[in-house]
Chains A and B, each alone.
Chain A
């Protein structure tokens, strides 16, 4: 198979995967009488065909939200920019902090910090979000000072600080662990002791000898990093009440009229596009790190 054919077949595969997987709520329904699960495959297939038929009339790109019919293209623009802003800032800062602290953690002797990091890394994202919110409420009730907004109460006054902190720290924790692990391994290599024997400074060795050999691992792990970022996205937007893509899709997926298949499919495509965009930016960032510290 040529590269182009392989490429197109994978794209088609991904599209099909999304189309099939979004029809689950239609296909899988409990029997109202005895609760047994029933599969309605024909309904699933008809929602796929409706999706393609709707291209002409534009039904595919309109959805119902709270009784009014909205255009997907208009709504997605705003949601996309909200999600994109939080994600890109979180990803970029999270990665930078992750790499820097990862380096620091690999050379520091403070064991308690490593243990604390291990502990926070095991807590699920929503627990961290809730603990952060608790902290704010606790500070507010003790001192009367509201440090940050706990969640957005309207779209005009979005909560900024807490969502950003969360989108930064959770992926950063993963990055710190990953970088410090590989840094530790790299620092045992022979060329490091050789560099040391030549009398090079500690900082120079770390940044110009070890780091360029750690960055490939960072690059290889970008997908995992992104998976963590995206896995948390849903929780962040929901708990902080941000009007991003996932909120658009999953608060409107079920209406009085039933399940909006086309909205879910379009929303997931928008998410995949977002994934590709942020991945490209992160890759560029790693490339930049490599350029700066290459000799």
Chain B
């Protein structure tokens, strides 16, 4: 266990713990609203309290313009961000990994040489997030389905669009491992296809899967954010007319960032605090990924000297 991995794990575990148990310790609830009030103290100095309140002792993260505590909102939304990103990554890795493994094992390609005709690559000009936007935009505004259903729909779409890239990465890796000596020797002593995949290919890909999994989480969080910039939030968007305003139904983190985009100039904490939480969360996973890579490098260099 190296320092990077440890730091990443600590950040992630603290965040996970806060999101699941934080609501029991938080000073405010997400339904609690601070009303406009006017106080006059003993010295005759008057004070007008109007939300949004800037960060103070009672609301360490401040409140939004409806007087709801930001910390309560972050804690309420964290579950959606965390569970959705991890589940989507898991589905992508399991399905994409199995497809890639079999494609790599059965394909007749040589490693590093893609048979793709280059002109197909023009489709790179259409980013994944636009595909998701196209699918979700008709569904996500003021839906009658529950936030959980909406989060599920978005997760399924995100999982589906991500599977091809995972599958092709795993396929590339499988192609390289398939050419190794030990596979050849296993074949020559009569190992079946299933044995080779189970006992030779998969164990060598295990570490790659783990690193890929963490990287996918980071990618998915990025996609959540990009979608949120275009008002597609995990769990659906409530759209108010007159003035037009988009509000996340679940207080999910990227949603909080997306809906607070106009607070760049004034009441900046409404934007900065979710953004900071989101960045720290991403960096936590990133550190885990770097730490794992280091760990496996050490592990393998040890073995190779024997």
| Contact of A127 with B124 at beta-carbon distance under 8 Å, contacts A6-B117, A35-B143, A122-B283 already known | no
Is A33 located at the chain interface by the 8 A CB criterion?
yes
Does A252 lie at the interface of the complex (its beta carbon under 8 Å from any beta carbon of B)?
no
A13 to B119, CA, bound (A): 11
Decide if B144 touches A30 in the complex (CB within 8 Å). yes
Contacts of B139 in A (CB 8 A): 28-30, 37
Please indicate the chain B residues that have their CB under 8 angstroms from the CB of A226 in the complex.
124-125
Q: Which of B145-184 contact A (CB under 8 A)?
A: 145-146, 149, 153
Complex interface bits, B278-306 against A, C-beta within 8 A gives 1, otherwise 0:
11001100100010000000000000000
Instruction: Decide yes or no whether B244 CB sits under 8 A from chain A.
Output: no
CB of B125 within 8 A of CB of A35, answer no
Q: Encode contact with B along A264-290: 1 for CB under 8 Å, 0 otherwise.
A: 000010011011100000000000000
Report the minimal beta-carbon distance from B289 to chain A, rounded to whole angstroms: 9
From B121, B146, B221, give the contact of A223 (CB < 8 A). Answer: B121
**Cβ of A235 and Cβ of B138 under 8 Å apart?**
no
Which of A33, A36, A130, A235 contacts B226 (CB under 8 A)? A235
Q: Quick one: given A25-B138, A134-B264, A254-B137, are A275 and B221 in contact (CB under 8 Å)?
A: no
Interface residues of A in 249-265 (CB under 8 A from B): 250, 253-254, 259
Residues on B with C-beta less than 8 A from A4 are none
B-binding segment of A16-24, A49-57, A160-168, A190-198:
A16-24
Q: A37 — which chain B residues lie within 8 A by C-beta?
A: 139, 153
Task: Flag if A227 contacts B134 (CB, 8 Å).
Answer: no
Known: A122-B218, A123-B279, A231-B129. A137 touches B122 (CB 8 A): no
Contact A230 B125 (CB under 8 A): yes
Decide yes or no: A235 and B264 within 8 Å by CB, A35-B144, A272-B125 being known contacts: no
- B191 interface residue, CB < 8 Å from A? no
Quick one: closest B residue to A264, CB to CB? B134
A31→B144 CA distance, assembly (Å): 8
CB distance from A284 to the nearest CB of B (A): 16
Interface residue B229 (Cβ < 8 Å from any Cβ of A):
yes
Interface size on A, residues (CB 8 A): 57
Chain B nearest CB, measured from A89 CB (Å)? 18
Q: In the bound complex, what is the Cα–Cα distance between A29 and B130 (angstroms)?
A: 17
Determine which of B153, B230, B271 lies in contact with A238 in the assembled complex, contact meaning CB atoms within 8 Å: B230
| Cα A291 to Cα B129 with chains together (Å) | 37
Secondary structure call for the A interface: helix
Do residues A22 and B124 form an inter-chain contact, with CB atoms below 8 A?
no
Nearest CB of A to B15, in Å: 16
Residue of A nearest to B224 (CB): A124
Q: Which residues of chain B are near A119, meaning CB under 8 Å?
A: 283, 286
Whether the Cβ atoms of A33 and B144 lie closer than 8 Å is: yes
Determine how close the nearest CB of chain B comes to the CB of A189; give it in whole angstroms.
17
CB of A124 within 8 A of CB of B222, answer: yes
Chain A residues with CB below 8 A from B283, complex form:
119, 122
Q: Which residues of B contact A122 (CB under 8 A)?
A: 218, 282-283, 286
Q: Which residues of B contact A133 (CB under 8 A)?
A: 264
State A274–B125 Cα separation when bound (angstroms). 8
Interface string of A199-221 (1 = CB under 8 A from B): 00000000000000000000000
User: Is B225 engaged at the interface, CB distance under 8 Å to the other chain?
Assistant: yes
B133 — which chain A residues lie within 8 A by C-beta?
Answer: 250
Q: Is the CB of B50 closer than 8 A to any CB of chain A? A: no
By a CB distance below 8 angstroms, the chain A residues around B226 are 124-126, 234-235
Is the CB–CB distance between B125 and A25 below 8 Å?
no
- B125 & A118 in contact (Cβ 8 Å cutoff): no
Cα distance A124–B258 in the bound complex, in angstroms: 13
* Residue B40 lies at the interface, judged by CB distance under 8 Å to chain A: no
In the complex, what distance in Å separates the CA atom of A33 from the CA atom of B230?
Answer: 26
State the CA gap A223–B286 with chains docked (Å): 24
User: Does B128 lie at the interface of the complex (its beta carbon under 8 Å from any beta carbon of A)?
Assistant: yes
CA distance A18 to B130 in the complex (A): 12
B265 interface residue, CB < 8 Å from A? yes
Cα–Cα, bound, A14→B265 (Å): 43
Docked complex: B260-284 residues within 8 A CB-CB of A: 261, 264-265, 268, 271-272, 275, 278-279, 282-283
A interface residue numbers (CB < 8 A to B): 6-7, 10-11, 13-14, 17-18, 21-22, 24-26, 28-37, 118-119, 122-127, 130, 133-134, 137, 150, 223-224, 226-227, 230-231, 233-235, 238-239, 250, 253-254, 259, 268, 271-272, 274-276
- A sample of 10 inter-chain contacts (CB < 8 A) reads A25-B134, A31-B144, A32-B144, A35-B144, A127-B278, A130-B271, A134-B272, A223-B121, A227-B124, A239-B229
Closest 9 CB pairs of A and B: A35-B145, A275-B125, A124-B222, A231-B127, A35-B144, A227-B124, A25-B138, A122-B286, A24-B134
Residues of B that sit less than 8 Å from A by CB: 117, 119-131, 133-135, 137-139, 143-146, 149, 153, 218, 221-222, 225-226, 229-230, 257, 261, 264-265, 268, 271-272, 275, 278-279, 282-283, 286, 290
